[in-house]
């Protein structure tokens, strides 16, 4: 009898300790058996501090059992499980990436998509460059860091004291420096606290029931569930048609979330007229799907023909009026001007052309967008008066690619530092509300043989196939925000700076940080399907504000 009483007393003490362990505020979560109700859908959930939280989180599909009827509340939660729970809590979708981030988180694993989405958004990290350790238990200090990242907390403003004479926890010295700001911040928010004896136990594994309570506290925090459930605003998402049939283009548009189509239908002829390849059925189809059409106007990179039109005021005006007439004829929503290889001498006349065209389109009305390259002080961009164009057109589309091109030195098509510099330079002259950031859905396979380097333009689908078939060596480069891969031999070395869901998520995150009006994608059909899930996750996560 004494042993039974002792056991019962010990269980009561453990329950009380657990209640303090998770948040320091679990008193309201502790209910009587009658108030808690049945532990469905799990047979092994006790009526304790965690029972209601488990039920609520299970009902929201944020936590699941380890089998049909078992939750195993006392079992340590693994890194893969906790990462998955966080993704579900944030309404993030799993990403079946073409490029795995870690060798120990294979595509065949049930948690693969959740780990990939968390890595792409910066919610989770590996234990090193090659390993995620998915089956290792999450420690309490690791959980604090993961939660702080998920809630986008400004840890640089958290006042952290390491004064051991008056510590916030008895075991403060055991909390690792990289976790201290997160531990302090979650204590301030009332999400995590210490044991009844004043210990935090940073290295102790977190149990599945503790994880459920912690997630339930986040969901129950004033305003946070509403923030997570809100539908993010949809920015401009412009997709260019290139090398595709109409049927292929339409299919890509439907599976990508593109809301603005840009078929390559208008071109400048050498005599100053417009070559018209418009498919009226595509325009009707797009409008039937609630999407806009900004037809691209190209100059075929013909510098002489472009100069002849721009330099002659009469021909310039006639070209603008002809374009406006075609916009009316086909009931287009706008135009996208893509003039490349223009002479610096045409700077003023190009700006004048855009002003005249915008005036004509305003009468319809229709949108005018102009494609420009990032300004790095080269002859290629001297023709663009960015500030003047930003005032003359509705949108400036920054072509955030071609950092390295065929004939030059090997390198990235669009590294993150290069893109950041190009975008910030443009934003000094054009309001972010008028800037569309265009991202690459293509890449280059660089080959160096006998000291001579050439490159082949490839789609991201071709890129992924090459990596798989050639068993390429790959590593993540955090400085440029891309994977670097190589294959072949020293006599014929191939190099690729990858574009994938992870790199494109960082680029889109850059645009979100500056509040751009939207995004363009060159070109539709070049991407693997997982990219669109990655980008949708990035927009959703960027929309959250937990303050």
Beta-carbon count within 10 A of 17 CB:
13
Instruction: Check residue 165 and give its pLDDT.
Output: 79
Closest CA to 141 of 95, 202, 75: 202
Cα–Cα distance, 201 to 91 (Å, whole number): 30
Backbone angles phi, psi at 271, to 5 degrees: -90, 5
Instruction: Judge contact between 503 and 484, C-beta under 8 A.
Output: no
Complete edge-to-edge strand list for the sheet that includes strand 492-497: 452-459, 442-449, 492-497, 482-488, 473-477
- pLDDT score, position 18: 41
Residue 212 pLDDT: 97
Surface-to-core class of residue 478, CB atoms within 10 Å of its CB (0-12 exposed, 13-18 middle, 19+ buried): exposed
Separation of alpha carbons 330 and 281, rounded Å: 10
DSSP string, 455-476: EEEEEHHHHHHHHHHTT-EEEE
Residue 40, pLDDT score: 63
- Chain Cα centroid distance, residue 200: 34
CB atoms within 10 A of CB 251: 14
pLDDT per 10-residue tile (average), the chain, 547 residues: 36 39 34 39 92 96 95 98 98 96 96 98 95 98 98 89 85 95 95 93 97 97 97 96 96 95 98 98 98 98 98 97 98 98 98 98 98 95 98 98 92 98 98 98 96 96 96 95 96 97 98 98 96 98 95
Contacts (Cβ under 8 Å, ≥6 apart) of 420: 510
> Residue 179: how many CB atoms within 10 A of its CB?
20
Entry field: residues in the chain? 547
Dig out the tokens for 17 from the structure: 């300790």
Backbone angles phi, psi at 528, to 5 degrees: -85, 155
- The CATH homologous superfamily for domain 236-440+500-543 is Glycosidases (3.20.20.80)
Q: What is the residue extent of each domain of the chain?
A: 12-229, 236-440+500-543
In b/e form, how buried is each residue of 505-540, taking b as 16+ CB within 10 angstroms? Answer: bbbbbbbbeeebbbbbbbbbbbbbebbbbbbbbbbb
């Amino acid at each position: 009898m004494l042993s039974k009483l002792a056991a019962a007393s010990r269980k009561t003490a453990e329950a009380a300790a657990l209640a303090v362990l998770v948040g320091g505020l679990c008193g309201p979560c502790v209910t009587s058996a009658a108030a808690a109700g049945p532990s469905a859908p799990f047979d092994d959930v006790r009526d304790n501090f965690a029972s209601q939280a488990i039920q609520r989180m299970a009902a929201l599909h944020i936590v699941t059992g380890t089998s049909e009827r078992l939750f195993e509340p006392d079992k340590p939660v693994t890194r893969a499980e906790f990462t998955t729970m966080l993704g579900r809590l944030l309404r993030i979708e799993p990403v079946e990436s073409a490029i795995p981030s870690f060798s120990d988180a294979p595509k065949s694993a049930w948690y693969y998509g959740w780990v990939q989405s968390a890595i792409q958004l910066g919610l989770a990290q590996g234990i090193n460059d090659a390993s995620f350790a998915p089956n290792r238990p999450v420690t309490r200090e690791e959980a604090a860091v993961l939660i702080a990242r998920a809630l986008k907390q400004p840890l640089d403003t958290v006042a952290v004291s390491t004064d051991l004479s008056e510590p916030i926890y008895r075991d403060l010295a055991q909390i690792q420096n990289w976790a201290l700001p997160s531990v302090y911040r979650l204590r301030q928010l009332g999400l995590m606290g210490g044991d009844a004896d004043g210990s935090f136990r940073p290295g102790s594994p977190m149990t599945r029931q503790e994880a459920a309570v912690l997630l339930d506290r986040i969901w129950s925090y004033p305003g946070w569930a509403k923030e997570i459930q809100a539908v993010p605003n949809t920015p401009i998402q412009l997709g260019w048609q290139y090398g595709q049939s109409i049927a292929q283009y339409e299919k890509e548009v439907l599976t990508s979330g593109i809301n603005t189509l840009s078929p390559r239908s208008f071109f400048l002829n050498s005599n100053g007229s417009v070559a018209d390849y418009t498919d009226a059925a595509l325009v009707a189809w797009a409008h039937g799907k609630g999407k806009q059409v900004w037809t691209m106007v190209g100059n075929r990179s013909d510098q002489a023909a472009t100069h002849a039109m721009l330099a002659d005021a009469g021909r310039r005006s006639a070209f603008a009026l002809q374009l406006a007439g075609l916009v009316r004829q086909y009931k287009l929503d706008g135009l996208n001007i893509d003039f490349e290889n223009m002479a610096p001498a045409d700077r003023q006349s190009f700006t004048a052309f855009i002003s005249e065209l915008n005036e004509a389109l305003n009468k319809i009305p229709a949108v005018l967008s102009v494609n420009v390259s990032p300004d790095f002080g080269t002859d290629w961009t001297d023709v663009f008066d960015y500030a003047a164009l930003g005032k003359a057109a509705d949108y400036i589309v920054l072509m955030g690619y071609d950092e390295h091109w065929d004939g030059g030195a090997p390198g990235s098509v669009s590294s993150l530092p290069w893109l950041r510099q190009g975008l910030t330079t443009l934003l000094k002259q054009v309001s972010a509300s008028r800037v569309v950031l265009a991202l690459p859905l293509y890449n280059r396979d660089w080959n160096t043989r006998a000291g001579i380097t050439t490159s082949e333009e490839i789609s991201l689908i071709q890129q992924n196939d090459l990596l798989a078939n050639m068993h390429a060596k790959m590593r993540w480069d955090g400085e440029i925000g891309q994977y670097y891969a190589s294959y072949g031999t020293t006599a014929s070395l191939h190099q690729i700076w990858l574009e994938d869901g992870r790199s494109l998520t960082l680029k889109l995150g850059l645009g979100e940080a500056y509040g751009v009006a939207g995004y363009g994608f060159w070109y539709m059909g070049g991407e693997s399907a997982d990219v669109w899930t990655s980008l949708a996750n990035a927009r959703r996560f960027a929309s959250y504000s937990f303050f």
